[in-house]
Amino acid sequence: MLIEHLLATKGGDVVTVTTDTTIAAVVAALRKHGIGAIVVSDDDAATVAGIISERDVVRAIADRGAAALDEPVRDVMTADVVTCEPNARIEDLMALMTDHRFRHLPVVDGGRLVGIVSIGDVVKVRVGELAEESRTLHEYVISGR
Ligand code: AMP
């Protein structure tokens, strides 16, 4: 399956914050939306300036204590963001996420942010595909055709 098909089902909404948002506000947004990472953008989600995940927040608080909550996102985010395009295949994303050890991939089309895919989305699609394959094979074995 292609990413654009996944986005057609789950939608292209992406929660973003700006580089000067505080970590306290990021924590509140992660909680409010029930998500694990937020894309950082200073131009109203047009382009990606970075990504901040719950892992970055935990690391900052472990290193600097509660004072980290007052820091701006730009000091804590990952600026070198790996993205994918809508015509990428789910299998390619699985390899990318495994190789880089992260769980979120912003989807960019012609330089513009058009969605985000999490490892949960990828696993859901793969489990569905494998179940369908299994059902087809089962029918083939039972019916002999
Ligand atoms: P995650 O597993 O997605 O919660 O993120 C683990 C680490 O990778 C954190 O430091 C994130 O900022 C970073 N990260 C997450 N997604 C990406 C991405 N697409 N490109 C680059 N770094 C990322």
Residue 143 has pLDDT above 90, yes or no: no
pTM greater than 0.75 (yes/no): yes
Edge-first strand order for the sheet with 16-17 is 16-17, 37-40, 50-53
Q: Ligand 1 centre and the CA of 100: distance in Å?
A: 8
Instruction: Determine the 3-state secondary structure of 21 from DSSP.
Output: coil
Residue 41 burial (CB count, 10 A)? 20
Which residue's C-alpha comes closest to atom 2 of ligand 1?
102
Among the atoms of ligand 1, which is closest to the Cα of residue 51?
A: 12
| pLDDT tens track for 126-136 | 888 888 888 88
Q: What is residue 145's predicted lDDT score, i.e. its pLDDT?
A: 60
Which residue's C-alpha comes closest to atom 10 of ligand 1?
56
